[in-house]
Structure 1
Amino acid sequence: MEGSSNLSQYNLSDNLEINYNVTSSSKLTLRETTFNNRILLKLEEDEFTTPDEKAKVLIKEISELEYLYSLKLLFENPINRFSPKILRDSLVALSDPDSFDYYDVQSVARLELHLRTWVAVLEQICFTQMRLSKELRDKVYNSLSRFAEIHRKTTRVMQEGIDNKKL
């Protein structure tokens, strides 16, 4: 393990420094992936500097895979902190299964990415001082069964084929 890993440091600001082990077989780090993401870089250029500002823009385009991936990266970055309102808005947007009303070759990937982003938001909520209303919790729980059904249908459609001859 001595030859395959080393300790790397990134000084992200004057106050914050992250240390982690890098193995020779590891892919891009979260930091590199986040900073190389075209959409997140564009948001920085457009002066959307806070995680809340970026998330607000990305939520509006949540049906686009590139934006959904950028949102996932944003929420998975342990440095980012979000306001309860942005977390709530993201949770509501991701709990809505209405964008899964058609099937294409990317349906499985889109569904997986959507669910992973949803989990990243839920993890952020767990570490934020906020409490969801019973109505919102119920809405989130109820949407889980809808996403399970979407998964079953998507799997079946992909096995049958996605051409329109099966209508």
Structure 2
Amino acid sequence: MEVQASGSSSSNIIPEIHDSVFSYKTVPHENFFNNSSILLKLEEDGFTTSDGKAKELIKELTDIKYLYALKLLFENLQNDFSPQILRDTLVALADPTPFDFYAKQSVTRLELHLRTWVTVLERICFSPIVLSKELRDKIYNSLSKFAEIHRKTTQVIEIGLNNNFRSKFNQFNKQSNDQDDQIITKKRNYNIDFLLIHLRDTLHSLRDDETWFQEIIRRTKNLLKTALNITPGILTITGVNLQ
């Protein structure tokens, strides 16, 4: 995986597809996937607000053109978004369901998806919105699913997309586990690793509606349940009320 650095803003950095490799190159983004045309077409169709455009774009997250247009929309700091649209976009991007197959552009789409997710999450960080603990936990828990998607995508791409049928003689063609690990590591997209870590750390830093006292009580309960293998109900009977 190659990332070409530039002094330009991230809005000018676009993805290129080279088989299973995803690289970034700095060029005017109006020349890529006609992203400006997508946003202009939305305006022509009556979606003149940032909220309206985002609402339409998140319906097409499986299309790289629309996904990249969504990224550009949120990167433009002149665009304002309502808390509801920020929440809806975050939830849509945290859904791993569309990544249930592997194809030539799987690595490309996964990295761009995570980059867009990072952009939206950063907008939430600087917006007057506080997520509920349930929502933040839901978003956080989806990261492990995307990490697994990343691992499996790397493995499938290495084996080859043309190998659609299982061979009856796999035992004669199978490489050793050490060789497989070395090849997968060599072809691994480390940008995706970084993006997953960045998303995890950003979510950790976000406030939610849980107060510090509620957090202490919750962590105490979890600690006691794990360490002593007892339930809050038993603690109440013994005179320790953690409700």
Task: Place the TM-score, normalised by the shorter chain, in its bin.
Answer: 0.7 to 0.9
Per the alignment, do residues 127 and 166 of structure 1 end up closer, same or farther by CA in structure 2, a change over 3 Å counting?
farther
User: Equivalents in 2 of 1:128, 1:87: separation in Å?
Assistant: 9
Q: 2:144 — aligned with what?
A: 145
Distance of 1:76 and 1:32 partners within structure 2: 17
Determine which structure has more spread, i.e. the larger CA radius of gyration. Answer: 2
Q: Indicate how the Cα distance of structure 1 residues 36 and 64 shifts in structure 2: closer, same or farther if over 3 A, else same.
A: closer
User: Is 1:44 the equivalent of 2:56?
Assistant: no
Consecutive unaligned residues of structure 1, counting only runs of 5 or more, are: 1-25
| Superposition deviation, residue 166 in structure 1 | 4.3
What is the deviation of 1:79?
A: 1.0
Match of 1:21 in 2: none
- Aligned counterpart, 2:118: 119
- CA distance in 2 between counterparts of 1:31 and 1:84 reads 28
Deviations 1:47-80 (A, max 9, x none): 2111100000111111111111111111111111
Contact 2:57-2:67 within 8 A present in 1 as well: yes
- In the aligned structure 1, how far is the partner of 2:43 from the partner of 2:110? 27
Q: Structure 1 166/109 Cα, relative in aligned 2: closer, same or farther at 3 Å? A: farther
Measure, in 2, the Cα distance between the counterparts of 1:66 and 1:133. 32
Rounded Cα–Cα distance in structure 2 between residues aligned with 1:59 and 1:31: 20
Q: Is the 8 A contact 2:94 2:142 kept in 1?
A: yes
Q: CA RMSD in A?
A: 2.1
Alpha-carbon shift at residue 36 of structure 1 (Å)? 5.5
1:80-117 Cα distance to aligned partner (Å, 9 max, x none):
11000000000000000000000000000000111011
Aligned-partner Cα distance in 1 for 2:30–2:119: 16
Aligned residue number for residue 161 of structure 1: 160
Partner residue in 2 for 1:4: none
Q: Which runs of 4+ in 1 moved over 3 A?
A: 30-33
**1:108–1:78 CA distance, 2 compared to 1 (3 A):** same
Matched to 2:130, the amino acid is R
What secondary structure does 1:98 align onto?
coil
What amino acid maps onto 1:82 in structure 2?
F
User: Given the superposition, is the C-alpha separation of residues 166 and 113 from structure 1 closer, same or farther in structure 2, using an over 3 Å criterion?
Assistant: farther
- The DSSP-based 3-state class of the residue aligned with 2:79 is coil
Matched-pair contact (CA < 8 Å) for 2:35–2:65: no
Q: Kindly provide the amino acid, as one letter, of the partner of residue 38 in structure 1.
A: S
Measured in 2, the distance between the counterparts of 1:90 and 1:48 equals 16
Instruction: Report the 3-state secondary structure (helix = DSSP H, G, I; strand = E; otherwise coil) of the residue aligned with 1:43.
Output: helix
Distance 1:129 1:107 in 2: 34
What TM-score do the two structures reach when normalised by structure 1? 0.78
Tell me how far apart the structure 2 counterparts of residues 108 and 63 of structure 1 sit (CA, whole Å): 13
Aligned residue pairs total 141
In structure 1, the residue matched to 2:27 is 27
Note if 1:66 corresponds to 2:77.
no
Identity %: 65
Q: Secondary structure, in 3 states, of the residue corresponding to 2:97?
A: helix
